């Protein structure tokens, strides 16, 4: 009866079912969408014990307080992500780092649009950070800024990341010509020493810490994971971080995120606007990256395929694969995957720096 | 939601300082990457 009296609960259960469908049937970020989908159903059952039981916090609430309120879960996830990243393509062609910076444009574009729509600056910034295309950074920033749209931000961040193969081709094709998409690039990677690979994460921590100290939790955990990978003597820890740690945190994160998916918080016009702004941010990231590459081409003899710019978002390795697919569609012999992967890895660094800078400017 | 000009001013500031800041950080990392390549070239067996 309580369900019929509150149709919002039924609507949220349907949303939960859709999330699970996307995860299971379409295989869009299943590690997060499946637990998040079931969690959404569980928290919207009237009097649900997962939120509170006998006047005490329930298991989801306890997990949320311990893992998200404290920001530990997104940070721990970063150790695993760092252990998965190979900075080799980037170090062998460091010029690609600039595309990581350019493709964060969507974040700042959305912050301005959200401000124009009347959102409080902290909520505007939290909406903007969806465009970092980086789930843990979105959660970290939105939570640090105390945004009331956490549920929408998390759903948007993860579902749009899964939709990169659909969103990016539309955005890239809108701002490039066929001729530009056919531009071939020669790949002459410079060999990178093991010492350079080990020192790189340590130096990044120091630089990011000196310029944007608020980014250090994000950058530090990411680079710690990478150091585990590259140091060569902690292989079992690196593998644990890449597999067990990431899987465990993904399960817990996906479940406890649903605390913010209760119908009275989620089914609001504002929430839908936040999700639309996130989508706009993803599009503008790609547009910003492509336009930056086109701008550089004005001064270069050897032209860059401007699609490389769009790969500067954090969604790794999906974005670089999408860009390679677009290149192959126009010219089956055009291979720009390595350049796109370099820009994509740069996007991972740039997104955490962006999160830290936004926090530094607002806190 | 009422539009607040002060919020927009902060948003534009974040665009300038935030996006500009990312370019500065990434440019420094670019220089560091070049320096690492020069100072620590790969050995023959690498």
CB A314 within 8 A of CB A70: no
* pLDDT, position A1: 63
Residue among A171, A142, A157 nearest A322 (CA): A171
DSSP A57: E
Q: Is A195 on the interface with B (CB under 8 A)?
A: yes
Query: For residues A53 and A36, what is the distance between their CA atoms, to the nearest angstrom?
Result: 21
- Of the partner residues A194, A346, A358, the one whose CB lies closest to the CB of residue B18: A358
From chain A residues 61-90, the ones with a CB under 8 A of any chain B CB are 90
pLDDT tens profile A147-159: 989 888 988 887 7
Give yes or no for residue B45 having a pLDDT over 80. Answer: no
- Of the partner residues B8, B41, B42, the one whose CB lies closest to the CB of residue A115: B8
Task: Please give the average pLDDT of every successive group of 10 residues along chain A, which has 363 residues.
Answer: 82 94 86 89 93 92 92 93 91 93 97 96 96 90 90 83 88 97 90 94 93 88 96 96 95 87 89 93 96 96 95 91 95 95 94 94 91
Size of interface A-B (CB pairs under 8 A): 135
DSSP letters for A103-153: TTHHHHHHHHHHHHTT--HHHHHHHHGGGG--HHHHHHHHHHTT-TTHHHH
* pLDDT, position A317: 86
CB contact under 8 A, A199 and B40: yes
Q: Band of the pLDDT at B43, cuts 50, 70, 90?
A: confident
Q: Is A198 on the interface with B (CB under 8 A)?
A: no
Residue from A121, A190, A362 whose CB has the most chain B CBs within 10 Å, to mutate:
A121
* pLDDT, position A29: 77
- Of the partner residues B19, B26, B43, the one whose CB lies closest to the CB of residue A108: B19
Share the mean pLDDT of chain B: 91
Query: For residues A21 and A16, what is the distance between their CA atoms, to the nearest angstrom?
Result: 9
pLDDT tens profile A182-237: 999 998 888 899 999 999 999 999 998 998 888 899 999 999 999 999 999 999 99
A98 contact residues in B (CB cutoff 8 A): 23, 26-27, 30
């Amino acid at each position: 009866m309580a369900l019929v009296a509150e149709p919002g609960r039924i609507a949220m259960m349907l949303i939960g079912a859709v999330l699970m469908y996307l995860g299971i049937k379409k295989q869009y970020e299943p590690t997060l969408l499946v637990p998040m989908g079931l969690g959404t159903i569980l928290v919207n059952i009237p009097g649900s014990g997962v939120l509170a039981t006998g006047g005490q916090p329930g298991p989801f609430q306890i997990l949320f307080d311990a893992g998200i309120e404290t920001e530990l879960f997104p940070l721990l996830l970063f150790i695993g992500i760092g252990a998965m990243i190979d900075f080799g393509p980037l170090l062998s062609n460091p010029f690609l780092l600039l595309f990581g910076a350019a493709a964060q444009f969507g974040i700042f574009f959305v912050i301005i649009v959200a401000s124009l729509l009347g959102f409080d600056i902290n909520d505007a910034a939290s909406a903007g950070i969806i465009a970092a295309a980086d789930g843990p950074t979105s959660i970290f920033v939105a939570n640090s800024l105390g945004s009331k749209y956490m549920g929408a931000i998390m759903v948007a961040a993860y579902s749009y990341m899964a939709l990169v193969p659909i969103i990016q081709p539309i955005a890239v094709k809108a701002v490039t010509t066929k001729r530009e998409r056919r531009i071939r690039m020669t790949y002459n990677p410079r060999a990178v020493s093991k010492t350079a690979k080990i020192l790189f994460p340590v130096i990044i921590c120091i630089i990011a810490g000196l310029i944007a100290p608020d980014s250090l939790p994000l950058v530090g955990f990411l680079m710690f994971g990478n150091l585990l990978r590259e140091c060569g003597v902690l292989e079992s820890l690196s593998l644990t971080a890449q597999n067990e740690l990431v899987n465990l945190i993904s399960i817990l994160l996906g479940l406890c995120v649903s605390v913010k998916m209760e119908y009275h918080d989620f089914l609001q016009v504002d929430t839908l606007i936040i999700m639309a702004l996130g989508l706009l941010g993803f599009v503008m990231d790609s547009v910003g990256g492509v336009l930056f590459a086109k701008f550089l081409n004005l001064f270069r003899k050897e032209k860059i395929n401007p699609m490389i710019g769009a790969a500067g978002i954090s969604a790794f390795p999906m974005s670089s694969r999408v860009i390679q697919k677009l290149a192959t569609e126009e010219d089956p012999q055009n291979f720009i995957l390595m350049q796109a992967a370099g820009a994509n890895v740069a996007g991972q660094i740039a997104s955490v720096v962006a999160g830290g800078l936004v926090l530094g400017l607002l806190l | 939601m009422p539009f607040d000009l002060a919020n927009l001013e902060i948003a534009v500031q974040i665009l300038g300082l935030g996006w500009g800041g990312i370019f500065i950080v990434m440019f420094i990392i670019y220089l560091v990457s070049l320096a690492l390549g020069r100072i620590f070239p790969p050995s023959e067996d690498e």
